Structure 1
C-alpha cells in the first residue's frame, strides 16, 4: 500500500509540475487534493499511521538506547522530555 501511495503521489506531483494545462487545471487539482486531505477518513488514517510510526520509533529507540553513543542518547532523552512537557504530539495540532 505504501508503494502505491508513493507512486500516486509522485504521479500527481509530476503532473502538476509538468502540466501545460494552465492555472485553471492547477486550481482544480489543488481543490481536489484539499477535499481529499480534509476527508475525516483520510485524516484518521493519517493520524493512525503517524501514531503507529511514533510507537515503532519509540520501541526502536528503547531497543538500541544502550548501544547509542552518549551524545545521541542524551539528545533522544532531551527530545522525549521536551515533548512530554509540551504535551503535544507531532501533527496532532488542529490547523
Structure 2
C-alpha cells in the first residue's frame, strides 16, 4: 500500500511539474488535493488504515517472536558437518 501511495504521489508530482497547462492547472490540482486531504471521510479512512496496519504489524511481530522461540540458537554438530564437507577432497 505504501509503495502504491508513493507511486501515485510521484505520478501526481510529475504531472504537475511537467504539465503544459501552466500555473492555473497547478493551482487547480493543488486546491483539489488540499480539499481531499482535509476531507473528514479521507482522514477517518486514513486513521482506520493506520490502525489496521499497526494491528497487522503487531500480529506479525508476535508470530515472529513465537517462531524465534521454537528455533534453536544453534543446531548441534552443524559447524562440524560444514567443516567436514569443506575439508573433503573430491576426485577431479
Normalised by the length of structure 2, the TM-score is 0.57
Distance 1:16 1:54 in 2: 33
Q: CA RMSD in A?
A: 3.0
Structure 2 stretches of 5 or more lacking a match? 69-92
Structure 1 stretches of 5 or more lacking a match? 69-95
Q: Which has the larger radius of gyration?
A: 2
Aligned length: 68
> Which of structures 1 and 2 has the larger relative contact order (alpha carbons within 8 angstroms, sep 6+)?
1
Distance 1:8 1:53 in 2: 19
Normalised by the length of structure 1, the TM-score is 0.56
